[in-house]
Amino acid sequence: MNVERTTRSAAWARAALFALGPVAVALLAGALLLLAMGVDPLAYYGYVAGRGLLSPSGLQATLTRMGPLLLIAASLIVAFRAGIWNLGGDGQFLLAAVSAAAAAPALAAHAPVWLVLPACLVLGAAVAALWSLLPALLRAFQGINEIITTLMMTFLGVSLANVLIKLVFRDPATTVPQTRTLPVADRLPRLFDTTVSSGLLIGLVAVVAVHLVMTRTAFGLKLRTVGANPGAALHAGLPVPMLTVVVFGISAALAGLAGAVDVLGTQGNVRADWNPAYSLTVVPLVFLARFNGFGTIAFVFLFSVLSIGGESAARRLGVPGYFSLVIVAILLVVLGLAEYLDQRRQRKGED
């Protein structure tokens, strides 16, 4: 029993090291870059924590930002656990956002809000799922690499979203190309008399549900089997092509739901050339959490603090607004090195 407990403790300590170690290294590297730019790292991180975590308004903005990010994370967990690289989340997100932004004001003029909001959320998820159909079929029945097809569909999706905003769904009452604005009163309700959008709850439920389905159900076991060894899955009689299409649909629908939640809960409209590029940003967070839903929630919260606080720090210290993304990029590189060293250590242990 003591040996088993010690082994379990060592496994948890190793997991914590490989999860938190890259974060610490990335923050340290970010500090060195700030010093090279002539900026006090303590002041920068102080503004980040003060605005993104310690300030009541900043904390509420952080929690609101988490809603779509968690839905993107749920989308990636489904795909990655099934061995599928759905890197088309940004295109799926934008097309769903534009669809929800165009439909919500039009429907709100003729139907109650309690009916309009769920309908637009479903619409966004459905549009994104349909947009993923071509890469899904190519991967399932032709074996074409989905990394290439989903990235290509992202470029097409972003361009199509801009065309729809400028030519089809443009609000004629504005000079800047954008969709009509959904009134604040008709958006997703706020939580507990705060400015936090209920999209946060939708994101939390999605991540927890995905985690439980993938780890506790027979359906999740099938998807993990397909991801681990497609040949063995075929030999076991699993319908691999159909499961592949289903995974694409679920993953894309969650990414589309993220776009709809962002528009219906926070933005209210979509402007031309707007692309927050959440999908590729969340990829390293999901890998840091080792595809664990609960760990992903923690890392998404950390990134949201860094994102909201980094915007404030950039204004106060003259740091480029995208510096927080530089830290995320460093984090991705460090994560890759950590994975390489871990696999090398395991191979030496087997030898």
Task: Please give the pLDDT value at position 311.
Answer: 81
pLDDT for 262-308, tens place per residue? 999 999 999 999 999 899 889 888 988 889 999 999 989 988 988 88
Give residue 7's pLDDT band: very low, low, confident or very high (50, 70, 90): low
CATH code of the domain in which 69 resides: 1.10.3470
Q: Is residue 275 in some structural domain?
A: yes
Q: Cβ contacts of residue 162 below 8 Å, gap of 6+? A: 272, 273
Task: Please give the pLDDT value at position 321.
Answer: 75
pLDDT for 33-85, tens place per residue? 999 988 899 998 888 888 888 888 889 999 999 999 999 999 999 999 999 99
Average pLDDT over residues 24-33: 90
Whether the pLDDT of residue 346 is over 90: the answer is: no
Q: Is residue 10 in some structural domain?
A: no
Task: Please give the pLDDT value at position 267.
Answer: 93
Q: Is residue 214 in some structural domain?
A: yes
Q: Is residue 6 in some structural domain?
A: no
Task: Say how many domains are in the chain.
Answer: 1
Are the C-beta atoms of 288 and 22 separated by less than 8 Å? yes
Helix, strand, or coil (residue 4): helix
Domain boundaries, position 38: 22-350
What span, in angstroms and rounded, lies between the C-alpha atoms of 48 and 177? 32
Q: Is residue 247 in some structural domain?
A: yes
Q: Is residue 17 in some structural domain?
A: no
Average pLDDT over residues 154-176: 93
Give residue 12's pLDDT band: very low, low, confident or very high (50, 70, 90): low
**How long a stretch of residues is the chain?**
351
Q: Is residue 158 in some structural domain?
A: yes
Share of the chain above pLDDT 90, in %: 59
Give residue 227's pLDDT band: very low, low, confident or very high (50, 70, 90): confident
Are the C-beta atoms of 283 and 76 separated by less than 8 Å? yes
Are the C-beta atoms of 301 and 294 separated by less than 8 Å? no
Give residue 4's pLDDT band: very low, low, confident or very high (50, 70, 90): low
Whether the pLDDT of residue 101 is over 90: the answer is: yes
Tell me the β-bridge partners of 271. Answer: 178
Q: Is residue 134 in some structural domain?
A: yes
